[in-house]
Structure 1
């Protein structure tokens, strides 16, 4: 081996040791840098020379700087981390809801409900006491305010969640573009084994980790920029250098027609709801005759009535609508009939959509199925999974339950109160319920009233009095035989409309010249003629309560439940009594007050579209809402801790591979420092040998 070979050998050793020291120093400097993976110089022996007696080594060279990273652990971590982030965010949001339903104090809805029924009990003892009536009004007003406030607070929570979702979606799209850009840079700069772009790999993996905070993702790493990011459900978010996007979009509907369907119309809807509606045509035909069923969980289950029978709705041509839960649905522009099996999906809320250039936006909004599991064809994890779940499945359900509670409270109280009598007879009774379709049968969804499904066939009693003398002028049940279908004396929920009720009253001979009925702004109004006043008697149909005549409460649910305005102006209109068999409504009568007070313990059926809760008192049902909120929050807390432990375990295992250990790096630094000194000594030795050779000439 020549002296020049010794110089080269020493020079390579110096370069190798210097590279190792620089890499070790870089590790030490980035010990606290998020996403940094430990790097190490891989050394290779230089090619040898064949010499007499054996091959002679030519030293070493730094082949590459490798990055310590385990792809398989990273993939497992993404799954667990995304799930952990979902439960952490879900627990955070549900804590706010739990505080809203905290009944530990004495100022909650349950306490107000107890006071409400106690006041009716007190009124039954002193039905003509004005102070008792005023106390009842004040406490009832407080109860309605608490219910409205709870619903409004949850609505604002949903709106705040919408803002968070919008921010998260923007952040996700920024990250997707950044990942695609890094893939583009990797295609340029990365040369495996020669120029490993370790920093770019760290940046990309850190972005993917942050992406997993927002939604559940999987990755396919084929090396360099050939890198794909998918949702766990399979939608491609990044394909190499191409980034797709997610879009947070408003309410919309979509048709999924059968292959043989010729239907060319458009579905229209008004209203909002936390559920997605799937409409499936059961009986084909033209709009107006075709019928459909409705699912709130993507077609897993279908809405049923109180008897367990599947509900079928009739298609309506706009502007006539069919009321389904919180929506009014119609069709427009149809010249061809529908076919059985045609489906329409309504998303009456802001949703999340996967957008690509080659197809219509795909709905990937997280969705809970009827059995409580997630729809795995949608996004399920990360903060987005949590926010949508809390907004729709949790708060949406709580609002539905609170709405059902408010509706049942209104119906049960109004059902009794509307058949009662107060301290004064009525010169006018104006309904508080607006009927959108005054010619549709009141028992059908087409009428558009809240309690259409509670109406029954039967009769409605009215008593007319002389205002001056108080004597009974006439009384009896409204005769419906003058309206269609002719000859039918009693009210029929499937046949009679609001207009029919008006016509029946005005055409009834026993009430001619005594009372008149009319429709004002879609509401029924009954007026006494001249000096005639009236009271309502027994109503086996529920029409009075449904239309808001002679009621205690008004409204359509938790959002707008309130006292009937006339009661604030005149406490004498609170119906503590009833008209007796002698057609008298005495001031000391307490029958209505006793019946309403008995609702405190009466088992009632609380109807919801997803289920019916029977054999419970109103207080018990409300307590069940509080219990569900508490259970959901506790479940989220448990899952947060459980999945935190799992993700932390994998993160710890990843750190053992990719993390920087300062003790190890300091030991390596000392080792390579000695190597550098030894290599330098080799160079000086070669130099001394060279100087000896030069001295021989002298």
Structure 2
């Protein structure tokens, strides 16, 4: 290699320095561009040539312009993004639930329990006071209204979270479609991996889209030799080269709510993290568990109050009663569809005259022993109908209707060891099965004289009121020894604890993600000072190569003049 070879060698160095200057200039130009990943010129020594006993280098050759990115760190960062997005979604859900429940400041349902109990307490001291009877019914109605209202608000929020799944599905489809399109463009411009340079701009956009997609679902990203990426979620791919799979929010009979399914395979998108998983957890877990707790509390309140009230007598007897519960009249009681199953036992019915004196007392058997001869609603109604002075039937709607045969007589109810009266909704204070439909019995709202006070006869005692005192705070066997108020307060206490824990978790993940993001930006971001140093280095290299060419040219001119 002579002087011409030297000039050619330096010419390659000039080209490399010029390309390096262009790369530096592009980095500086995008220093403030969001999501831009800085580039770096990769160079290698040209293949050496042997001349005699010497092996001479042929200078430098640019091998590619690549992005400076730590793929392992990027994957950790988007995993943290997934976890953070899920945590913030749940934090938002718990914040909404906290707004619904005013018990955290002692003005909610727990306070309503106390007001209802206080009203019963006042009536027990003056059972003949009509205004106090009205007040007990009013406080019961207020309690029922607040329970229904609390559940309704939580249910509305739950449905709103269910509706957000549609937006999540649309965002996932938007991103996967764009990533698939970018895959094709990147693979094309990079020559299917044959060119060693990265597709600037296209890869930047794909990194941003992958990071945004990670907000919704937990991703497994695998880059192919062609430069395209495959995106998997729990073993199912959403993107493979230039192909993307759309998802849709579909009603699931199993869940009883919407779920995200892959349209092509009609299989659920099995996610464990991100906004999608957190949205379903907010719907089914956060609000679902709260609603379940409200329903359980309301059911326990209805049953405990009604089992006491249904065995008592007010200030007058009934001329007509229509049960609030509906059931299948011709099957055994466990299959009749009542709110709960009556036990094996009995209940009393009394026929009374206009002054409330007992004309006759009748004990109705309720048989529930798992035998063929067990009672049905129809058989119990038939026994009631057999009482002289009383008629009883099962309506077409499955309700029990009991009528007095004479205007001069009426009927009352007494001791019930079976719980049938409360289960059937006869002579009860509350009606309904849960927080959805809890209400005060319409007959009490129409006439407070039907409010049960006595257990020994009309005007005989205040035993029923005494048993209703502190009923909401009394341990109940069906509630594992907890009280009605205890069930609700346990729900509130658990909620408060979860709100605190979720807030701490979200704060921790925000710090962790910020740390990883800082590390990522330290690698991928443009540092003006560093680029200035590279600029000077390429400039000096260009000047030195130019000087080599100038010197070699002068030497060549000397040779030509000899």
Taking structure 1 as the reference length, what is the TM-score of the superposition? 0.74
Alignment of 1:383-532 (within 5 A): 383-435=275-327, 437-444=328-335, 447-452=336-341, 455-467=342-354, 469-478=355-364, 489-492=365-368, 494=370, 495-506=374-385, 508=386, 511-531=387-407, 532=409
Q: Are the aligned partners of 1:516 and 1:529 in contact in 2 as well (CA < 8 Å)?
A: no
**Residues 184 and 228 of structure 2 are in contact (CA less than 8 Å); yes or no, is this contact kept in structure 1?**
no
Tell me, in whole angstroms, the C-alpha distance in 2 between the residues paired with 1:680 and 1:135. Answer: 103
The equivalent of 1:209 in structure 2 is 211
Return closer, same or farther for 1:621/1:208 CA change in 2, 3 Å cut-off.
same
CA distance in 1 between partners of 2:177 and 2:477 (Å): 53
Instruction: Say which SS state the counterpart of residue 534 (structure 1) adopts.
Output: strand
Hey, which of these two has a bigger chunk of helix by percent? 2
Displacement after TM superposition at 1:4 (Å) = 5.2
User: For 1:213, what is the secondary structure of its paired residue?
Assistant: coil
Q: Is 1:351 aligned with 2:217?
A: no
Alignment partner, residue 119 of structure 2? 119
For the residues of structure 2 that align with 1:451 and 1:219, how far apart are their CA atoms?
Answer: 52
Equivalent-residue separation in structure 2 for 1:14 and 1:585 (angstroms): 113
Partner of 1:262: none
Greater displacement, 198-207 / 122-131 = 198-207
- Tell me which of 463, 475, 494 is aligned to 1:603: 475
**Which residue of structure 1 aligns with residue 483 of structure 2?**
617
CA contact (8 A) 2:66 2:197 kept: no
Secondary structure in 1 aligned to 2:473? coil
Q: Which residue of 1 aligns with 2:165?
A: 165
CA gap of 1:434–1:628, structure 2 versus 1, over 3 A, is same
Contact 2:294 2:435 in 1 (8 A): yes
Verify the 8 A CA contact 2:329 2:394 in the aligned structure 1.
no
Q: Quote the offset at 1:163 in angstroms.
A: 2.0
Partner of 2:109: 109
Give the one of 458, 478, 483 matched to 1:585.
Answer: 458
Q: What residue number does 1:236 align with?
A: 237
CA apart distance, 1:521: 2.1
**Match of residue 363, structure 1, among 262, 268, 290:** 268
Deviation at 1:56, TM superposition (A): 5.3
- Decide which moves more: 122-131 or 659-668: 659-668
Gaps of 5+ in 2: none
Contact persistence 2:217–2:274 (CA under 8 A): yes
Does the aligned pair in 1 maintain the 2:350–2:413 contact within 8 Å?
yes
Instruction: Determine the C-alpha separation between the residues in 1 that align with 2:322 and 2:88.
Output: 51
Of 658, 676, 692, which aligns to 2:524?
A: 658
Instruction: Select which of 528, 535, 538 maps to 1:669.
Output: 535
- Aligned residue for 1:371? none
Q: What does residue range 323-338 of structure 1 map to in structure 2 within 5 Å?
A: none
Q: 1:639 aligns with which of 492, 495, 505?
A: 505
- When structure 1 is superposed on structure 2, of 132-141 and 670-679 the one drifting more is 670-679
Name which one, 1 or 2, has greater alpha-carbon Rg. Answer: 2
Q: Does residue 1:554 correspond to 2:437, yes or no?
A: no
Between stretches 416-425 and 631-640, larger displacement belongs to 631-640
Task: Tell me how many residue pairs correspond in the alignment.
Answer: 556
Does structure 2 conserve the Cα–Cα contact (< 8 Å) formed by 1:23 and 1:39? yes
Secondary structure in 1 aligned to 2:368?
Answer: coil
For residues 105-142 of structure 1, the C-alpha deviation after alignment (integer angstroms, 9 at most, x for no partner) is 34210011011111111111111212212222222222
Q: Distance in 1 between matches of 2:532 and 2:64?
A: 21
TM-score normalised by the chain length of structure 2: 0.91
Q: Determine the C-alpha separation between the residues in 2 that align with 1:238 and 1:438.
A: 57
Instruction: Identify which range, 389-398 or 100-109, moves more after superposition.
Output: 100-109
Aligned counterpart, 2:25 = 25
Q: In the aligned structure 2, how far is the partner of 1:30 from the partner of 1:363?
A: 41
Q: How does 1:673-692 map to 2 (within 5 A)?
A: 673-680=539-546
TM-aligned CA deviation for residue 160 of structure 1: 1.2
Q: Does 1:628 align with 2:494?
A: yes
